[in-house]
Each structure stands twice: as C-alpha cells, then as structure tokens.
Amino acid sequence: MNRIYFDNAATTPLDPEVLATMLPYMQAQFGNPSSIYSYGRETRLAIENARKTVAKILGCKPGEIFFTSGGTESNNTAIAASIRDLGCTHIITSPIEHHAVLHTVEHYGKTGNVTTSFVKLNNDGEVDYNDLEQQLQQTAQKCLVTLMHANNEIGVLLDIKRVGELCKKYDAIFHSDCVQTVGHYLINLSELHVHFISAAGHKFHGPKGTGILYVNESIRIKPFIFGGGQERNLRAGTENVYGIVGFAKALEIATANQAIDKEYIGNLKIYMRAKLEKAIPGVSFHCSNVETLYTVLSACFPKTSRSEFLLMSLDINGICASGGSACSSGADQGSHVIQALNKGDDFVTVRFSFSKYNTTDEIDAAVHKLKDLI
Ligand SMILES: Cc1ncc(COP(=O)(O)O)c(C=O)c1O
C-alpha cells in the first residue's frame, strides 16, 4: 500500500540534497571540530560556515546563532535563561503554546520564583494584543513574553513585529517559538524586536535532532551544559556536525524555493479544503476567519460513531494525519489547543499538513477515503 503522508507539521522527510550534503561529515570528514589538526579544522569550518549561512538568511549576526538539538531544547533554554540570567519574574504566554513552552513555564511557575499569566485569545486563537499590552502595563515585574509565531495544530499566526514593539515599549524580554515558521516564511530578525527565537531542522526537510536558538546580541545568557565550552561556551559537548550542516543546507533550500513552495503548498491546502467541503456535509475548519499557516489545514468533522475513530481508520488505510500535536506520546489525551478555543466537543479535529512532496492526487485519494469513512 502506498502511504499518504499529510503530517508535515509533525516532521518532514529529509531532502535528498540535504542528505548528500551531510554524508561526507558522517564518513570522510569525521574530525572533532575542537581538534587543531586538519580533520578538526575542516569540521570547524563547516560549522562556522553553516552558522554564517543561517545568520545571513535570518538577518542576524553569526554570533547570535547557537546550534541546539531542536525546538524543545531551544524553548527550554530561552525560558530558563530569561529567569536565571535576565531577571524575569513574570511570564506572559498563551494557553495554545507547544508543550515545550507550556510545561517549561508551568515548571518555573511552580518553583515559586516566577508568576505566570495567559494572554487572552479570540475564537480563532489569535492573541488579543490589547490584553497583552494591558498586562505588560500593569505589572511592575520584569516580564518574559513567550508567544509562538505560528501554532502547530491550528496554524494561527502571531503578529511577531507588533508583539516585539510592545515588548520593547515595556522593556520585556520576548521569546518566540518559530518552529513552524522558520524554513516556511522569510524572517528578517534585523526588523524585529525579539530576544530569542527557536527553530527545528526537521520541520523543513532537515535532519531531526537539530535546531537553533537565536539570542539577540544585546543580552548575555549563561550555559546550562558545562564542559568543553563549545557553542561559544553556551552549550558544551562535541558538535553534531552533520546535523548542523544539514540544518543550514535545508534552510538554504527552503529559502531559495520559498515563494514557489508557498504557492504550491498553499494551493494544495485550498484544493483539499474545497474538496472536503464538497464531499463531506457538515465539515468545517478551525481559524477559518484568519490567516493561518499555508502548510496546515485543521478540519472539524461532525462527531459520529464512525468519525470518533477517524485517525485510526485513516492510518489503517495508509493515510497519515494528526489529531492534535504529534509531538507528544501518540496517546489521544485531547488537545489543549482545541480545548482553549472553547468550541465544545461535538466534532473531531484532524490536522492535515502538507509539504512540497504532496500532490493533488494524494488529496483526491484521501478525500475519497474520508468520504467512505464518515
Ligand atoms: C511549535 C513547536 N514547537 C516546538 C516543537 C518541538 O520541536 P522539536 O521536536 O525539534 O524538539 C514542535 C514540534 O515538534 C512544534 O511544532
């Protein structure tokens, strides 16, 4: 059975060109970047070139890019460092952040040293910017604002520029989880007032276990991992050379093809939405009144005895999609994001998320199957 993969917000397949760039660093160029002889110098150069590539694409300085193991580590580091090193004693976040942010905020909230609050959201999951400003205005504490650039389940986008300006006005630290937007949108950090952003390579056809934390040069944070002083003393440990090289290559390809991919993938989303509306009575979509990620279509199917098992039935039929966030255990505990929208529970949410490798034929086949299953 040919499988259809519509879960690209969970992870994407590695681009063969990225793999080709990584392979030499798994074989002939295996040196430890800290070694002073030629093998080491080669891999050191590869890492620093990767850093320059990433920095140029994101509009920042190479010294502001730190390679990490992915979105989760970057989010944890930004939040923990804001409290420990930057004096933040209050955190403003939203109830629809990824667990890598929410559980971290919850953890530090419980230690008693920081207070936390949620910003209000409208019915489409958009941040209420007036509420954010009011919260910033009313607190005398040093604030960390951590809000995601795009939500991984429903695709709702944040006006990152506007939030950056608010944070600047009230002297707050701003972190944005950009895991779903780096590699999909052109981000120019030189135009944004953001202190930290997080990204992960596997969301744009790069390798898993790779990511970056951008740290604006105006702030200084201390290490969490001590040892050999790698990553300019922030994150010790021999570098994941092929992962870093792969991350930069994937970002380079994604950026070069961004306009074409955006149009192609965006059209797949429009196509699937129209097909579903025609084939399945009662189908609706989350966040249909606002702009959302062009990669994500979050559909609500009427709840029936059959549709309750929709994801399982799709899987049996070789169609891979997701109910909520695929980043957690796979056990269906209900999505905190859908719950936060307060829409009740008389529907079944399925997230379809697309990549440049998907086709309209796959959509035709999936909609045909969905019609059968519902
Ligand atoms: C918005 C968002 N943040 C963070 C993460 C975690 O990233 P990683 O899997 O690289 O740790 C994910 C998904 O995996 C995500 O979608």
Active site annotation includes 327? yes
Q: Whose CA is nearest to atom 13 of ligand 1?
A: 327
Q: Which atom of ligand 1 is the closest one to the Cα of 211?
A: 10
98 lines ligand 1 (CB under 6 A): yes
Q: Ligand 1 mean position to 327 CA, how many Å? A: 7
Whether the pLDDT of residue 326 is over 50: the answer is: no
- For 253-305, the DSSP string reads HHHHTHHHHHHHHHHHHHHHHHHHHHHSTT-EETTTTS-B-TTEEEEEEEP-T
Percent over 90 (pLDDT), the chain: 90
State pLDDT tens for residues 82-109.
999 999 999 999 999 999 999 999 999 9
Statement: the pTM of the whole predicted model exceeds 0.85: yes
324 lines ligand 1 (CB under 6 A): no
Residue 17 token pair: 């060109």
Residue 324 token pair: 């909520």
Q: Ligand 1 mean position to 11 CA, how many Å? A: 9
State pLDDT tens for residues 242-277.
999 999 999 999 999 999 999 999 999 999 999 999
Determine the Cα–Cα distance for residues 165 and 129; give it in Å rounded to an integer.
11
Candidate of 12, 74, 148, 152 to mutate for ligand 1, largest count of ligand atoms within 8 Å of Cβ:
152
327 lines ligand 1 (CB under 6 A): yes
User: Given CA atoms 181, 182, 187, 193 in this order, what sign does their dihedral have?
Assistant: positive
Residue 137: CB atoms within 10 A of its CB come to: 10
180 lines ligand 1 (CB under 6 A): yes
Whether the pLDDT of residue 43 is over 50: the answer is: yes
What single letter denotes the amino acid at residue 91? Answer: I
153 lines ligand 1 (CB under 6 A): no
